[in-house]
């Protein structure tokens, strides 16, 4: 009971500190703005969210309105940083930092309203003023909101608190695929294929919703304790056919060099799901060999992705089957027309290899694979028996090839024996 009281008191204290460190509260406390001006800015921000727009920061709105100067807004940001306001997300209690990247950090946190553990991605304060980075951050949240699949990290909440953009998502209690590879090197082919096929199912779901991930790599694949693979980080995701270059404003290609597709490395604008299939192939190569397909500087590696055929995985690791090696080569074909054209057919071939059966290759499209499977089944079925009427001059019950003839030798067990029945000749055909 006493522990519960202490925990509740701790929550109230966290909540009080968070409220006192909001941009608006600091502005009012320092007499930079009136409560009415702060409320107006808050309502404008709320309206932008309701309209589906990327909301401006409270400070940005207040500076534009002339309610405070940019110097005053910068002072508030410094106060938040000094007092830890940049780590206070309203409605959440941050527990520990899970990782940090170029765009910000990811924290393990508790969502206070639902009393559950979540992961929160926080945009770096230095990027908050760059609208392009804010838009990319919000784009990930919108992309995740469209998707609902067991192999894709699910989104929970997105917003802005204390001048910082945040995105709350499902917490996965497990490592990234990259950390597994760094720790243990190459993994067993069957396990690698089981991970890859789960990611392919995630891509299939994204493809059905018109999304291309554009940054498939081991760092963006989480593995839960029960072995479920979860695709994350959709910050680069775009709708298929959506305008926009595959390069940054400085001309740098979007994607990760070790796993980037040739078309992304070139900066082609028309990136589709086949680019993700290539990157998944490079990721599968890393899983079964313990190394990425190419080595060298980022520029050298990207050039190799464009012009150099990938090594044979089975030559690097002799335990890799020829089927898995061929699958990877097909996924990583330089010309995307030579790759699997959609995740569905790729999934079917992966599942066939896992079962120890020959794969069908990328030429089969969509539902055609099911038809091909039926044809194959019929071809290996029992021979068809065709019934023909007797020809002129043939008598019912007479001797036929395969029946007992001179010498009394019986050939009734011969598979090519022809039968006679009720005045008709019966033959087999495959």
Show which residues are catalytic: 215
Cα distance between residue 42 and residue 114, in whole Å: 24
Q: Which two tokens stand for residue 204?
A: 């299939």
């Amino acid at each position: 009971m006493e522990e519960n009281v202490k925990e509740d008191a701790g929550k109230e204290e966290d909540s009080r500190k968070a409220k006192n460190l909001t941009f608006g509260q600091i502005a009012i406390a320092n007499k930079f703005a009136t409560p009415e001006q702060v409320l107006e800015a808050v309502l404008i921000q709320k309206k932008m969210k309701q309209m589906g727009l990327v909301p401006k920061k409270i400070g940005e709105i207040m500076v534009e309105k002339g309610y405070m100067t940019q110097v005053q807004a910068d002072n508030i940001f410094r106060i938040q940083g000094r007092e830890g306001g940049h780590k206070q997300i309203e409605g959440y209690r941050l527990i520990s930092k899970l990782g940090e990247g170029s765009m910000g950090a990811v924290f393990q946190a508790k969502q206070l309203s639902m009393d559950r553990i979540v992961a929160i991605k926080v945009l770096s304060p230095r990027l908050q003023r760059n609208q392009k980075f804010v838009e990319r951050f919000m784009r990930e949240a919108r992309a995740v909101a469209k998707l609902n699949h067991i192999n894709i990290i699910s989104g929970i909440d997105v917003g802005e608190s204390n001048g910082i953009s945040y995105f709350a998502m499902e917490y996965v209690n497990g490592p990234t695929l990259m950390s597994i590879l760094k720790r243990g090197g190459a993994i067993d082919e069957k396990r690698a294929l089981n991970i890859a096929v789960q990611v392919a199912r995630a891509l299939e779901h994204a493809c059905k919703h018109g999304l291309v991930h554009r940054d498939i790599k081991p760092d963006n694949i989480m593995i839960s304790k029960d072995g479920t693979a979860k695709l994350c980080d959709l910050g680069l995701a775009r709708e298929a056919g959506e305008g926009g270059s595959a390069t940054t404003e400085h001309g740098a290609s979007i994607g990760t060099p070790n796993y980037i597709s040739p078309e992304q490395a070139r900066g082609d604008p028309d990136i589709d799901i086949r680019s993700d299939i290539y990157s998944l192939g490079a990721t599968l190569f890393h899983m079964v060999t313990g190394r990425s397909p190419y080595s060298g500087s980022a520029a050298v590696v990207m050039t190799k992705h464009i012009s150099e055929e990938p090594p044979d995985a089975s030559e690097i690791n002799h335990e890799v089957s020829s089927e898995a090696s061929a699958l990877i080569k097909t996924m990583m074909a330089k010309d995307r027309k030579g790759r699997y054209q959609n995740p569905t057919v790729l999934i079917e071939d992966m599942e066939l290899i896992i079962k120890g059966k020959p794969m069908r290759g990328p030429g089969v499209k969509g539902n055609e694979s099911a038809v091909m499977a039926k044809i194959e089944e019929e071809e290996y079925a029992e021979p068809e028996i065709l019934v023909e009427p007797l020809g002129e001059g043939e008598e019912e019950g007479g001797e036929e090839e395969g029946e007992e003839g001179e010498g009394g030798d019986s050939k009734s067990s011969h598979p090519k024996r022809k039968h006679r029945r009720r005045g008709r000749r019966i033959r087999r055909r495959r």
